[in-house]
Structure 1
Amino acid sequence: MSHQTPEELRRSAEKEWEVLRERLHQAPLKPKERMALPQQEMPAQDPRERRCNMEEVALGYTEEQARIEAERCLQCPTAPCIAGCPVAIDIPRFIGEITRGDYQAALEVIRETSLLPSICGRVCPQEVQCQAPCTVGKALKDPFASVSIGRLERFVADRAAGSSRAPRVQPDTGRRVAIIGSGPASITAAADIRREGHAVTIFEAFHKPGGVLVYGIPEFRLPKRIVQDELATLEAMGVSIVPNFLVGRTRTLKQLLEEDGFDAVFIGSGAGLPKFMHIEGENLVGVFSANEFLTRSNLMKAYNRDEAATPIFDAPVVAVLGGGNVAMDAARTAVRLGAREVHLFYRRTRAEMPARAEEVDHAEEEGVIFHFLRSPTRILGDQDDRVQAIEVLEYELGEPDESGRRRPVAVPGSEYTVPVNAVIVSIGNDSNPLLTATTPELETNRWGNIVADETGKTSMDRVFAGGDIVLGAATVILAMGQGRSAARSINAMLAEDRER
């Protein structure tokens, strides 16, 4: 489909809204009429322009688009969309406020359970969460035709930017809680714990807070000013954020509890240890983990070559290995850094890719070249140990594996080489072992993730955990859901302490 400019989408929506508004004055829409309304396309930068800049790709709904999209909601009594949301936002209620034109009220509904609407509206995979059980999508037999809940969430958050109030905080309880890490699970836990009047301190290993929201997700998908605004809300609530503090080195977990006077600890340090393929040539110059590549670009602004002191590898032809959102981010960042060609290799088909369909579409529009049913067997170097090519093996799909996806089966003798100058490995992350290595009391599983029950309780007294450190690499909203569960447990435990 050809790219429609934001101006074309705006004019089209204005005409549609004018007709719809007249119809709404006559009588409420019937369900069939609501399902007949056109889903509103997200305005976006032209692919030819955006591949040369770091500005946000998706530009957000206009007011008319948001009003039309909100009218598509059937306001189902059973609200299956809420059950699909890991933090249980009252989705029909906030969409109902949009239909009445009260965007501040819509935002307040979201903020009852989520402190990060601007972020979640941009990066959460709504198509497999809240939008998956949407009645509209079910009726139209297309999950991508569901009500665009995430886009509406972003609309109300952006519309009210700068005008929202920090959540109310209960009187001081005298209790202190330490939060390790400052990503989405930690931000959510910190907000919910602070609401109850407990003092909260976030310890962040990097020089900037935000976790994966800052170092992992590119500017063109999540502008960092938005993350800073959300963190400013936390600070306005009275949460203290301490950067450059590596728990396990600066202080141990036991010291926080036994010497520094904290009554509970929440660990939300994420999964930041990159996995590699363990193939020949991974030590060559020009091979990077997606973590390092994206951290240099996102956190250290290495893409701004005229001002940033942090170097980043300059390669005309780049290979990206993997099929998730991080792989899409790495490939699209390589395009913006000036690579002439970016090739992405994935050993299954597009249908099995874990990346969001929208991100794959955007990558294709920006010129990323996809090689499905392909995986490298080795990386080849020149006489100076610099990457010069990868050897690739072809695959075909066999029977489903434990994930339900069809297992890739190698085709013997199908190897061939592709000339490249850099390789970015994006096949997932494990948990950094530093914290658990210095805290043997914490039980971990065979992947190094901290073991926690459904309430976030770990094997160590007064220590809770959630997010990627428990789940492995997951989504922002799933991490937030775990942060919320752990916060409930911590608040309940501290309330019991006060009653004794």
Structure 2
Amino acid sequence: MSEHMTREQLDAAAKVELEKINALPKPLKPKDKTAIPAQPMPQLEPSYRARVMEEVAQGYTEAQAIVEANRCLNCKKPFCVESCPVHIDIPAFIAKIAEGDFKAAIAKIKETSLLPAICGRVCPQERQCQMNCTMGKMHKDVNQAVAIGRLERFAADYERNNGGASVPAVKPATGKKVAVIGSGPAGLVVAADVRREGHDVTIFEAFHKLGGVVRYGIPEFRLPKKIVDKEIESLAAMGVKFETNFVIGRTRKLKDLIEKDGFDAVFVGTGAGLPLFMNIEGENLVGVFAANEYLTRANLMRAYDKENADTPMWPGKNVVVLGGGNVAMDAARMALRLGAEKVRIIYRRSMNELPARKEEVLHAQEEGVEFCVLQNPAKILGDEAGHVRGMLVDKYELGEPDEKGRPRPVKVEGASFEIECDTVLVAIGNGSNPLISNTTPELSVDKKGHILLEDATANKTFMEKVYAGGDIVLGAATVILAMGEGRRAAAGINEFLKK
């Protein structure tokens, strides 16, 4: 691993590059832009950050942002925009950063994206906008693409730290009422876009705090909750109302919102929060948790803040995480910060097939998480008291590709072995919460519980006046994909209310 450089050192290096750029004839030629080095993200030192909740990625300095922005080729056909689920005008906002006009940059982003500080931190840009960046293709390396997400984060952070976010304008009141169920990314986008048109909007949230998965699922060290709070404050300033501790299907049925409470339209954005398990022996032992529950206790209920929070938390010291996605990385890294002495991730394919973001995998490795690939649990072992004491693990090898094109994991017979552990965190995926569909037979769902759409262009369900989007429709997806769903649903609702 390369030697760690501080934010100050990276800023000094960027200022040297900026002097070189300023000395070149303008406008810069493509060959000049390709010669500009990609700017690394400043990060906290690994051995320090692995035991604290401070944000790991510290954000670009102004000099770094301007240097990185000058790498953009401003393509005539911007494939990056086509690959963005909400179609941000990426070349335009990056051009403003290159000019040093950061306020104009964030204004351009907010024409289409409500949550740039969040998306800039947690979205997998390397699989979306940056994947099709011409600069990355010229270098034949997606890691050499223009750092669109980091620049988006920079612009959002600059606005928040220099006078705060502006409140979007709201049109005159229409007298129409819209209910938004769930305050995750899709719900927040719907609330903003519908409220802008002058409609009355109420968000109903089952938890006691707002934000959905970006609050309970993503750790503080990746996404500080003060940023989520700021995004929600702008909705409150627009006049959006909030009802917390309100479980649709229990506190109130969905039909009642329309028939008894007078809502003219409803958006369902309840996410995919039902944890999946492996159905192996020992999953009911004390010390086995769904990663969802583990992260919710830590993030939403702040279990890491032991001086101020009374949240019960299992004191695992030898932790095994099952799975290879971003949730597995978050759970493993959180376990270190909660005091674990040893943390292992068990994944049945190789490192090449890990579905988690490469950046998150690297961060986990730097912090001391051990990756045990081509392995899979066969049985969780318990002691006389019913507590986890270990695990029986099968060895695997890669076989022929499956229906998705990934190498199929094949068990190696006679190669099983035992390991010691006292905690198991299961992070193999989530299903849809069935509460709303079970209490609302008018909604159509598939066999996995995802809500089916009658009109996908407007995210309209088969139930009159009801729209849906995000993970409850897609299955577990990204923040920006959920936002794209919310944008389509909001447009559908606004068009419906016009008529």
Shared fold, TM over 0.5? yes
Give 1:387's aligned residue: 388
Say whether residues 1:421 and 2:413 are aligned partners: no
How high is the TM-score relative to the length of structure 2?
A: 0.98
Deviations 1:399-455 (A, max 9, x none): 222222111111111111110010000001001111111001110001011112422
Aligned residue for 2:460?
Answer: 457
Determine the structure 1 residue equivalent to 2:218. Answer: 217
Distance (Å, rounded) in 1 between the aligned partners of 2:89 and 2:19: 28
1:478 to 470, 478, 481: 481
Aligned to 1:314: 315
| Residues in 2 aligned to 1:360 and 1:189: alpha-carbon distance in whole angstroms | 32
Q: Distance in 2 between matches of 1:154 and 1:102?
A: 15
Q: Which amino acid aligns with 1:58?
A: A
Match of 1:45 in 2: 44
Structure 1 residue matching 2:129: 3-state secondary structure = coil
Amino acid at match of 1:92: P
* 1:126 matched to 2:144: no
Matches within 5 A, 1:293-372: 293-372=294-373
User: 5 Å matches for 1:168-187?
Assistant: 168-187=169-188
Runs of 4+ in structure 1 deviating by more than 2 angstroms, as ranges, are none
Q: How far apart are the structure 1 equivalents of 2:388 and 2:313?
A: 15
The whole-number CA distance in structure 1 between the counterparts of 2:401 and 2:172 is 54
The answer on whether the counterparts of 2:178 and 2:263 sit within 8 Å (CA) in structure 1 is yes
Alignment of 1:263-274 (within 5 A): 263-274=264-275
One-letter code of the match for 2:33?
Answer: R
Give the aligned residue type for 1:487. A
Q: What letter matches 1:470 in structure 2?
A: V
Give % identity.
59
* TM superposition shift of 1:163: 2.6
1:75 maps to what in 2? Answer: 74
8 Å CA contact retained: 2:165, 2:234: no
Displacement of 1:305: 1.4
Moved more, 126-135 or 402-411: 402-411
SS of equivalent residue, structure 1 residue 131: helix
The residue aligned with 2:150 is 151
Separation in 1, partners of 2:350, 2:200: 49
Secondary structure in 2 matching 1:150: helix
Deviation at 1:351, TM superposition (A): 1.4
The amino acid across from 1:197 in the alignment is: G
**Contact 2:83–2:132 under 8 Å retained in 1:** yes
Paired position in structure 1 for 2:282:
281
Q: Secondary structure at the match of 2:400?
A: strand
Match for residue 201 of structure 1? 202
Distance 1:97 1:67 in 2: 9
The AA in structure 1 aligned to 2:497 is: L
Matches of 2:349 and 2:173 in 1, distance apart? Answer: 54
- Verify the 8 A CA contact 2:17 2:36 in the aligned structure 1: no
Alignment partners' CA distance in 2, 1:481 and 1:275: 26
Give the Cα–Cα distance (whole angstroms) in 1 for the partners of residues 307 and 155 of structure 2.
36
Does residue 3 of the first structure (1) align with residue 4 of the second (2)? yes
| Aligned equivalents of 2:460, 2:415: Cα separation in 1 | 49
CA distance in 2 between counterparts of 1:443 and 1:402 reads 27
The alpha-carbon deviation at position 389 of structure 1 amounts to 0.4
Deviation at 1:330, TM superposition (A): 0.2
Are 2:100 and 1:97 aligned? no
Does residue 140 (structure 1) correspond to residue 150 (structure 2)? The answer is: no
Asked if residue 109 in structure 1 is aligned to residue 108 in structure 2, the reply is yes
Matching of residue 495 in structure 1 with residue 498 in structure 2: yes
**How far apart are 1:38 and its partner, in Å?**
0.3
Give the partner amino acid of 2:71. R
What is residue 467 of structure 1 aligned with on the other side?
A: 470
* Alignment-mate amino acid for residue 398 of structure 1: G
**Aligned with 1:132: secondary structure?**
helix
What is the total number of aligned residue pairs between the two structures?
Answer: 494
Deviation at 1:5, TM superposition (A): 1.6
For residue 118 of structure 1, what is the amino acid of its counterpart? A
- The separation in 1 between residues aligned to 2:240 and 2:101, in whole angstroms, is 30
Offset of residue 6 of structure 1: 1.5
- Whole-angstrom CA distance in 1 between matches of 2:412 and 2:190: 48
Tell me, in whole angstroms, the C-alpha distance in 1 between the residues paired with 2:22 and 2:156: 23
Establish whether residue 191 from structure 1 lines up as the match of residue 192 from structure 2.
yes
Distance 1:27 1:6 in 2: 29
CA positional deviation for 1:19: 1.9
* Structure 1, 241-250 or 156-165: larger mean CA deviation: 156-165
Query: Deviation digits for residues 254-287 of structure 1, max 9, x if unmatched?
Result: 0001000000000001011100000000000000
**Higher mean C-alpha displacement, 308-317 vs 326-335:** 308-317
* Larger displacement relative to structure 2 (279-288 or 344-353): 344-353
Secondary structure at the aligned position of 2:246 is classed as coil
Q: What letter matches 1:64 in structure 2?
A: A
The 3-state SS of whatever aligns with 1:303 is: coil
- More displaced 10-residue stretch of structure 1: 249-258 or 399-408: 399-408
Runs of at least 5 residues in structure 1 that lack an aligned partner in the other structure: none
2: CA distance, partners of 1:441 / 1:406: 40
The letter for the 2-side match of 1:468 is: D
- Read off the aligned partner of 2:289 and give its amino acid letter: F
Q: CA deviation at 1:164?
A: 2.3
Q: CA RMSD in A?
A: 0.8
Task: Name the counterpart of 2:84.
Answer: 85
Q: Which amino acid in the other structure matches residue 23 of structure 2?
A: E
- Shifted more, 483-492 versus 160-169: the winner is 160-169
Deviation of 1:234 (Å): 0.7
1:172 counterpart SS class: coil
Q: CA deviation at 1:22?
A: 2.0
Matched residue type, 1:231: I
Question: 2:321–2:328: 8 Å Cα contact kept in structure 1?
Answer: yes
**d(CA) in 2 for partners of 1:165, 1:306:** 35
Structure 1 distance, partners of 2:413, 2:451, is 39
Partner secondary structure for residue 284 of structure 2 = coil
**Separation (CA, whole Å) in 2 of partners of 1:292 and 1:27:** 54
Work out the CA distance in 1 between the residues paired with 2:259 and 2:373.
53
Letter in 1 for 2:209: K
Q: Displacement, 1:36?
A: 1.3
Q: What letter matches 2:116 in structure 1?
A: P
| Alignment partners' CA distance in 2, 1:337 and 1:27 | 52
> What is the CA–CA distance in structure 1 between the aligned matches of 2:103 and 2:369, rounded to whole Å?
39
